[in-house]
Structure 1
């Protein structure tokens, strides 16, 4: 299982635009082959900072999503709202306690 985090910082006046984009795309992302979990989180002290947290069966599944028309369309609408460069990373669970 691959776990993906993407941290995004938006211009304060663009946060509602991003939330609308996410609302419109979340179920389509969840329906992508290999996606097992998707959630959106928000920083409690900096409300313009969000992080997506998703689980994928494999890196191939994540890459297929990232190469899809859905991703291209969603990302093109989202990236113009950024106040800072996004940070994305993939991890795997090593130990669950």
Structure 2
């Protein structure tokens, strides 16, 4: 399952967010059920970021979202938002060549 989350925050907090993400990314990437994690920054809108992650399924994502690690990360960034976070859970339907 692919998870994309759009985070809109005060542009002056961007560097702080990038630092926090860099400090926590390995822990999130190695969380049970997570097989991939990336951070993307919008080129046209300061303060807009996207996380792109791949999870074994909704149960793995929910387990992470109720973990102390998620609570710690969320507590560190929630005051920086200027817009409501948006999230999409997707299935990859790209045909694979055998």
1:53-92 counterparts in 2 under 5 A? 53-92=52-91
Find out whether 1:36 has 2:60 as its counterpart: no
Aligned mates of 1:47, 1:11 — CA distance in 2: 8
Structure 1 residue matching 2:5: 3-state secondary structure: strand
Aligned mates of 2:75, 2:17 — CA distance in 1: 11
Give the deviation of 1:21 after TM superposition: 1.0
Aligned mates of 1:25, 1:74 — CA distance in 2: 8
Structure 2 residue matching 1:78: 3-state secondary structure: helix
Q: When the two structures are aligned, how many residues end up with a matched partner? A: 96
Query: Over residues 60-95 of structure 1, what are the superposed CA-to-partner deviations in whole Å (9 max), with x where a residue is unaligned?
Result: 111110010000010111111111111011011123
Pairwise CA RMSD of aligned residues? 1.2
Partner of 2:50: 51
